[in-house]
Amino acid sequence: MKASARNQFIGTVSKVLIGAVNAEVHVGLKGGETIVASITKESVETLGIKNGIEVIALVKAPQIIIVTDFGGYRLSARNQLQGTVTEVKPGTVNAEVDIELKGGEQVAATVTNDSVDALGLSEGQPATAVFKAGAVMLAVAD
């Protein structure tokens, strides 16, 4: 599949919770992490999403927030993937920051250069990629 979303995670559906309008879909990654997607009930039906099927979870890089220190706070964002910064690619205004998860998956985040400086982001640093369940799109094979 070709898509503009930088983050494309292949995983297996481990849980589907159906609500009146929306559904919560849990996708297990090979490293043991779980991504939670909030999609419409209609999308679950249309895509045939159920436990055990393989899906691709897509998240655009600007939707990723990087946290290096929670300072004792908890966040409402369901997806909090811990890893290590592998590369910081500065641009004129923004930078791409790549974070490797324990299973080897890469998360690409687009943040401002000011944020890179404020967080002191550099290769080898622990960081958490945070994004809301509503930022996740799911794709299935035909």
Per-residue pLDDT of the chain (142 residues; tens, 9 = 90+): 889 999 999 999 999 999 999 999 999 999 999 999 999 999 999 999 999 999 999 999 999 999 999 999 999 999 999 999 999 999 999 999 999 999 999 999 999 999 999 999 999 999 999 999 999 999 999 8
Q: Please, what is the end-to-end C-alpha distance for the chain in angstroms?
A: 11
CATH numbers and ranges of domains, the chain: 7-59+133-139 (2.40.50.100), 61-131 (2.40.50.100)
Q: How much of the chain is in helix, strand and coil states, percent to nearest 5?
A: 15, 50, 35
Q: What does the pLDDT read at residue 1?
A: 80
pTM here? 0.94
Contact indicator for 80, 128 with CB cutoff of 8 Å: yes
For 41, list phi and psi in degrees, rounded to 5: -60, -40
